[in-house]
Structures are given as structure tokens and as C-alpha cells.
Structure 1
Amino acid sequence: MSSITSEVSLREKVAYGCGDLSSNLMWGMTSSYLMFYYTDIYGLPVVAVGWILLVARVFDAFCDPAIGYVIDRQGGQIVPRLIRSLALPFGVAGFVCFVSLPLSPNGKILWALLTYIVLGAIYSCINTPYGALGTMITRQAHDRVGLNAFRMMGCQGGQFIVSLFTIPAITWLGGGNSMVQRQHGMALYALCLAIAATILWRYVGRVCITRYPPAPARHSPVVLLRALAQNRCWWLCNGLVFLQFAGLAALYGFALYYARIILGGMDEMGGVLLTVATIMGFAGAIICPHIVRRLGVIGSAAACGGVQVMAYLLLGLAGDCVPFFFAAFAMLTLAQGITSPLYYVLLAHGIDVGRMTSPVNTAGMAYSINTLVTKLSMGVTGFILATFLAHGHYAGDVHTFSPALKHWIMAGFVWLPLGAAALQLVLLAIWPRGVASPVTRRNP
């Protein structure tokens, strides 16, 4: 350990960011294009899609705490080995999730459900140790902000690649716009992303250093959960993350439908929306540390939450006015980009608070349940969005849209995440003032 420098290098920060870059090459595909793939490319009924998105999250309820328990019992040194070992299975599962087998209607539903469950399980087993890795690399607050800023830049970089290239790549690789051609194009594109994701995860496991690995904790799950239950900051972080990912799931899950049905564009316009979102999110992650130095973590999160609420109201007023819409959309996604790293900083701080107030090491379980919360948020939101589509009688092969469908698209893209953003402000307002921020405001 003495030969390992305590300073977190730029190379290590970049490597840490590659973890979320890898995640969002594959998992980002599920948040942005999985519903569209199921309804418009694989031809699944909208109602079935909603249940697939929800049921898969029920299985994750077992996977996430299980891998967190393993990390706590084995100690922090197992984390890099888990990441390296699961890099290839993660890529394979992501590829298979977008392979369109020529099955019966019920067979297609079962195949989609099975492959999505497998991807979610492997994602749990690699992303949970990745999340816990941040607290093991450094205990310095400013380094944690930097690590999570690079993490969010990696996240937005993955989303940018997915947003910009997916629709053109499907057509180009498939050789046309028929359903069969798009299925082939999607499979080839997913294969390219899977190879890149595997290489990136291996890089994370090789470069990142666990300077402060927790010792093995031989506590029962009941003891771990009891210790977590007494950690108010951890509870609040989970609530904030649930609401944040509900807004992100609505944005990325409904962007293609909003572009076509409300703005009157083609699928490519949906890709433009997602590209703008990722560019602004990336910019937000870059400027996040500078905002934190001025306002602190809680102040920055609250300010950006207020901007999000205002932006959603402007989106509701914009209607099909494209320039007005894009101005409000850029404001929204920039604020989301600034906010995203902050909740991981608060989560790490909450775990530190728990470590100081309890002898029980709960880092693995805390991050695993937090990962579960993010996926549960995406699953519940996806189910709600699919239900909205069903109420609007959406069909992928129909090009004339009813006023009722437009109403439900607005509800899913604007009003639902508006409520989530407003609730985030409530949770930030009741954050314990004694532990208000791991990075305090600095005077200029």
C-alpha cells in the first residue's frame, strides 16, 4: 500500500468515467431505445412492453442486494476483480437483448423478458461494485466531486454515442427501413456497442486503485439493513435518485415519441433530441465542480432543481413550436447534467456518516440498494409510459395521431417528470443541516 500514491491521477479519473461510458453504451440503449425497439422494430404489443419493463425490475430486487451483501462479506478488494470478470458477460447480455429471434408472438414476449432480465442481473453485479469503488478510491471530498464529474461525463458520452448514431446506424447496417432490415441493423449495432463496452469495463478494473477497501464484514443481512435503516441521509439520497431517474427515464424513453407525435418530425428528430440532451448533460457535468465551489452540493442541487421545474413548465407552453421547445429543452438537460453527479456525492457522504455512527460496514449493501432504486425508478416509469401509450392507442405502423395520444405523450414527457423535479426540491429542503454538504460553499 505504501507504493500507491494517495493522489487520484487524471488517468484514474478518466478510467473511472469509462465505467459509466461502458454502462451507457448498453444500458443507455435500454433507457433511450428499448421501448422504441420493442414497439416499432420487434413488433411487441405496447401493453406487453410495459409489463416486461416492470417485471424485470422485480427480479432485480433480488440481484442488487445479493451482490451488495457479497461485497460487504468479501471486502473491498473483490471489487476490481468483479468488474474485470463481468466485463465480457455484460457485453454479451447487452448484445443478446437486441437480437430479434423469429418467434411466435408469445415467444417474442418471453424472449424479450428473459434477455432483459439477464442484462439487468449482470448490470447489477458490475455496476454495484463500480458505484462502491468511488468511496474506495479516495476519501477526499474534492476528489469525489471530480470522480463523479468524470463519471457523469462518461455517462453523457455514452448517451451521446447512442443518441447520435443509433437511428442512422440501424438503417445503414440493416440496408433499409423494412422491419426485418431494421432488426438486422439493430443487432449489428448492438454487437459493436457490446465489444466497446467490454473493453471499457476491463480498463476500469485494471486502472482504478482501491486505496481504502473496507474490510470483510461478517454481519447478517438483517444487521446490515438495520444499520442502513437508521441512516437518514441514505434514505433521502435514495428518494432523490429515484425521482432524478424517473425524470431521465421519461426524457429518454419518450423523446422519440415526442419528436414524432408532438413536434411532427421523423425518428431522426428524436435522435437529435437525445443528442442535444447528452451534449448539455456533458456540459453540465463539466461545470458541476465550479457550481459546487460557489453554492455547495445542496445549494447547487436545489438551484438546478428549480431550473428543471421552470424548464418543464416552458416545455408545456412550447407545444409544437420547435425553437421555443429546444430553448427550454437545453435549459432542462443542462440542469440535469449539473445535478446528476451531486446525488452520488451525497450518497458517498451518507455512507461516510453511517460509517462514523455505526461499526457495521454497509457500503456494498448501500450502493446495491441504490442501484436497485435507479432501476426500479426506470422500470416503474417505463411501465407508466407504456400505459400512457396504451391509453392513447399507439401503434408503430400508424402515422396519423389522435389528440388523445398527444395528450398522453405530453403527460409522460412533461407533466410526470415535472412532478418528480418538484418532489426533489422537497427532499433537499429536509436534508439534515448538520450534514448539509460534503463540499461546503467557498467564498470567492
Structure 2
Amino acid sequence: MKDETMETQITRKERWAFGLAGLGQNMVYNYTTAYIMVFYTDVALIAPIAVGTLMLVARVFDAINDPILGNYIDRHPSPKGKLIPYLKAIPIPMFVISVLVYFVPDMSPALKLLYAYVSFILWDLMYTVSDVPYWGLSVTITADPKERLSLISLARILCNVGLAVSIVLPPLLIKLWGGGQQAYLLTAVLMASVGSLLFSLVGRHAKERIQANNQEPSSFKNLLQNKSLIILQSSRILQAFRMVIATAGLYFAKYNLQDEAQFSLLGGLLILAMILAMFVTPKLKKHFTKKSLYQASLVLGFFAHITLYFLGYHNAWVNYAFLFIMGLSLGLNDVLTYTMVGDCVDAYEQKSGLRTEGLSFAFHTFTTKLQSAFGLFFIGFLLDQTGFIENTLQQPKAMAAIFALITLYPAIASLLGMIPMVWYDIKEKRTQ
């Protein structure tokens, strides 16, 4: 049960430390998730199918570690807290590994691929150790659902500012620094240094207020018993092709629009819409349940993706309009997902007497990585099957496949994501 003897109100310093840490983490994380596949195929010259397989193997392997770490966190709290010690320890490794992943030596193709496997898996493990305790803290920092929604809304807004920086700025820097491996590496140094510094704020300034007095430690059995959490994360896995739009969008800008720098504009517009949606989510929550808003976000996403697919991409203003709608859908869905994980933790505690925020948010990170694994593998597979050749004008078949990666396949994923949510049954009151 909860120990509520501590003060429960989050201070302004904590709120901004938590949010800015998310901004920094997303600068580091999204620079690599968005650009590493293009870096591997077009700069390191690793075959697309090999890169896709690397993404699948590495992310599935690392995803398995997420619930293991979450379970360890729940079972082994330290005197200094369950989550804070991890948040204090990770910033320096975050910087080092995020730079090394772009330092691919010039050697044989086999050794180059081996280096990519080792460095990318280490990078993914680093992300796990930062992400699981970070989002778990959103549950232990306050017991007030309204305050938690406000905290997460601010954090997701700032996370998407970090996403915007990592999407909009790198193409300009890479072009400024002449392209090639050195340009990607210098950009990684900049992103990792600023991002790691910002992430260090949460470990220094945040407090864990909600302590669990569990009669027994949590286990994977508890995770499987949390029906609502399983349903929510099943919905997210089915949205895999919706969540790699940044990587697919970079190929789209470079090869379909024949201007890689266009990705800064398109990505910036998408993220602007996401941030706007995050601002209005708490207001919408006053009138609708989270489940209904979650489903509405998927309907909106389906409409935007499928309409653009049939209209085509040759009118720039049409592209801008529907990318903006896609961003609204993604932003609304993003905030709701994190708050609903917290609701699942609270609901399971009421039922069982156990708090499982470490394991629950580890499961959330697990499904995020499965999304990325399946989505990135599919990108590599589709490029390989449609005759993609790096750094040259593509054949119509390959260009059509790249366009489908940001339209048709995300539309299908939006519909699939709605199916499990029919059985999501946490009762909630509208926030006043």
C-alpha cells in the first residue's frame, strides 16, 4: 500500500527538472532512432536487409531486458530510493555510448556489421536504464491523478521539443558539416552532450514520494495479472508501423522529394502538431474519458494517413496539411498512453495491494522497442524487396514503397490498434 506521510505536492523545480530531463533524453534517443538506419545504409554502406535484421534482433533482445530491469527495480529498492539512483548514474554512459554508435570504423563489411550490432545493443540497453526509472518516477512522485496528468503533459510537450530538435536540426548540421560519417558523428556529440546534461536534472532535483510497502515483491506473474496494462500495450504493438514514421520520412524526403533538408520542415510541422495536441489533452480530458480520446486519436490517424495515400505527395500544401493532422493524432495518443499506464498501476494496486511501477513502465519500454523492431525491420525488408539502391535516383517501385511507409501501413496500424482497446475496462472520472 502507499505511504503518504511525505508531502505530496510536486514543486515547480521538480516539474521542470522532470520535463527538461525528458527533453534531453529525447534529443539523444530520437536522433539515433530517426537517423541511424539511414546512416547505416547510406554512409556506413550496410545492406538494407542487414540493417533491418540488425534492428529486429537488437531491439527484441534488448526489449526482453526491459521487464527484467523493471522487476529488479521493484524487488531491490535502495535506501536512497527505488528509481532515483538509476537516474543519477546514467547521464555519463548516455553521452559516451550515444557517440560511439556513430563511430563505425572503416573495416570489412562483416566486422563493420559486428560493430554495429555491439554498439547499437549497448545503446539500447542504456536507453532502457534511463527510460524505465524515468517514467516510473511519474507514478512515485505524486499520488494525485490530476497532478500526474499535468506533470506528464508538460513532460511529453518538452519531450517533443527534444524530438523537434533531434528531427529539425540534424539535417541542417549534417549538410553544414559536409555530410559523411564525420558530420553524423559531430551531430551526435552535440546532441548527446546537451541531452545528457539536461537528463541529469531529474536525478538531482526530483523526489520519490509514494513508497510501496509491499508484503511481497512484484513478479512477472503480477504483470500478467494486470489485464488493462496487457490490453493497452497490445494496442501499442499493433501500431508498430505508425511509430517509425520519422525514419521512413527521412527516406521519403531524400528520395521521393529529392531534398533531404525537406525533412526538417516536414518533421518540424509534424512535431508542432504533436505539441499542440499535448497542450489541449488536459482540457479534452475534462469532457471525455482517456479511453475514448485514445480511440479518437487512432481514428484521426487512420483518416490522415489513408487520405494522403490516395491523394499522393506531389502537392506540397496537401503534404503539410495531412502531416499536421498526423501529428495531432500522435501527440494526443502519446500523452494518453503514459497516463493510462499510471492508471493501470494504480488500479492493480487497489486490486492486489502491490505497486509495480518499475515493472509496468519496463513493459511499456518493452513494447516501444518491439514497435521499433518490427517497424524498422519492415522498412529494411521493403526497401530490399523493391530494388532500393542507396544514394541514387530510385525506381518507381521503390519510391511507391517508401511513400506507403508513411501512409498506407500506418493507416492499417491505426485500425489494428483500436481492436484490443474494446476490452480496456478501467473506470475513470472526468478531470474537473
Shorter-chain TM-score tier: over 0.9
Q: Secondary structure at the match of 2:25?
A: helix
Q: In 2, distance between residues paired with 1:301 and 1:2?
A: 31
Q: Give the Å deviation of 1:254.
A: 0.4
In the other structure, the counterpart of 1:294 is: 287
Q: Secondary structure at the match of 1:194?
A: helix
Q: In 2, distance between residues paired with 1:101 and 1:146?
A: 45
Q: Give the Å deviation of 1:422.
A: 0.9
In the other structure, the counterpart of 1:18 is: 20
Structure 1 gaps of 5+ residues are none
In the other structure, the counterpart of 1:197 is: 195
In the other structure, the counterpart of 2:341 is: 347
1:351-366 paired onto structure 2 within 5 Å: 351-366=345-360
Structure 2 gaps of 5+ residues are none
Match of 1:303 among 296, 309, 312: 296
C-alpha change, 1:55 and 1:408, in structure 2 (3 Å) is: same
Q: Secondary structure at the match of 1:294?
A: coil
Q: In 1, distance between residues paired with 2:158 and 2:239?
A: 18
The one-letter amino acid paired with 1:334 is L
- 1:165 has 2:174 as partner: no
In the other structure, the counterpart of 2:90 is: 86
Q: Give the Å deviation of 1:215.
A: 4.2
In the other structure, the counterpart of 2:121 is: 117
In the other structure, the counterpart of 1:73 is: 75
Asked whether the 8 Å contact 1:308–1:335 carries over to 2, the reply is yes
Asked whether the 8 Å contact 1:254–1:412 carries over to 2, the reply is yes
Q: Give the Å deviation of 1:267.
A: 0.4
The one-letter amino acid paired with 2:339 is V
Q: Secondary structure at the match of 1:395?
A: coil
In the other structure, the counterpart of 1:268 is: 261
Cα RMSD between the aligned structures? 2.0
In the other structure, the counterpart of 2:411 is: 418
Deviations 1:126-152, CA, capped at 9 Å, x for gaps: 110111111001111111111111221
Match of 1:136 among 135, 140, 151: 140
Asked whether the 8 Å contact 1:254–1:413 carries over to 2, the reply is yes
Q: In 2, distance between residues paired with 1:265 and 1:4?
A: 57
C-alpha change, 1:168 and 1:360, in structure 2 (3 Å) is: same
In the other structure, the counterpart of 1:231 is: 226
Asked whether the 8 Å contact 2:240–2:374 carries over to 1, the reply is no
C-alpha change, 1:130 and 1:248, in structure 2 (3 Å) is: same
Match of 1:188 among 167, 173, 186: 186
C-alpha change, 1:117 and 1:192, in structure 2 (3 Å) is: same
The one-letter amino acid paired with 2:155 is R
Query: Among the aligned pairs, what percent are the same residue?
Result: 22
Q: In 2, distance between residues paired with 1:216 and 1:38?
A: 46
Asked whether the 8 Å contact 1:74–1:216 carries over to 2, the reply is no
Q: Secondary structure at the match of 1:83?
A: helix
Deviates more, 1:7-16 or 1:329-338: 7-16
Deviations 1:297-344, CA, capped at 9 Å, x for gaps: 122212222111111122112312221121111011112112201011
Q: Give the Å deviation of 1:61.
A: 3.5
Deviates more, 1:72-81 or 1:286-295: 72-81
TM-score, normalised to structure 2's length? 0.94
**Which structure: greater helix fraction?**
1
1:308-327 paired onto structure 2 within 5 Å: 308-319=301-312, 320-327=314-321
Q: Secondary structure at the match of 2:14?
A: helix
Q: In 1, distance between residues paired with 2:158 and 2:270?
A: 14
Match of 1:56 among 55, 58, 72: 58
Q: Secondary structure at the match of 1:267?
A: coil
TM-score, normalised to structure 1's length? 0.91
Deviations 1:151-171, CA, capped at 9 Å, x for gaps: 211221111111111011113
- 1:145 has 2:149 as partner: yes
Q: Give the Å deviation of 1:4.
A: 5.6
